[in-house]
Structure 1
Amino acid sequence: MVMMGTEFIGTIPFSYVDPHGLIRDSQGRKMSKTLGNVIDPIDTIKEFGTDALRFTLALGTASQDLNLSTERLTVNTTFTNKLWNAGKFVL
């Protein structure tokens, strides 16, 4: 993209690249609709909450692959609930 942008536009299209890892299933396989191992984010939010899903994805995909599983979401749900309660106590 950088080379095509430089060729056609005359400038570099972006100057910062953020590398990130892949979201994988609990067995380490790449999530794919054809394999049927995709976790639906809407169902995950209903079951575990938005904060737990956000925290799990932000914590795990900095620059490495993330094996997303319900066990990891359960642990992070407990952790985010403790942070929420601690924040309410401090305020």
Structure 2
Amino acid sequence: MSAGPSQDNQSAAAAYWRENIRILLSLLAIWFAVSFGCGILFVDQLDQFSFFGFPLGFWFAQQGAVYTFLILIFVYIGMMNRLDRKYNVQEDE
């Protein structure tokens, strides 16, 4: 007995969400590493360097995490558009 279209759709939907969650968790891990790691944990080591006249650790705590978050938003958009095309669930423009 072969699996019907319903079974195929369910497995494709499950695979889509697995990849979606993997992308989301990867990007959140990057953001966490930059905001918490560079802004709090490694601030003393990073403060030995200067960036635009500010200690690098201070810069990451004040600006770098925000810039990283904004960049990750655009990376997420691109990755999700590619994923949507892969599973043929993109929105029509």
TM-score in same-fold range (> 0.5): no
**Structure with the largest fraction of helix:** 2
TM-score, length basis structure 2? 0.29
**TM-score of the aligned structures, taking structure 1 as reference length:** 0.29
The structure with the largest alpha-carbon Rg is 2
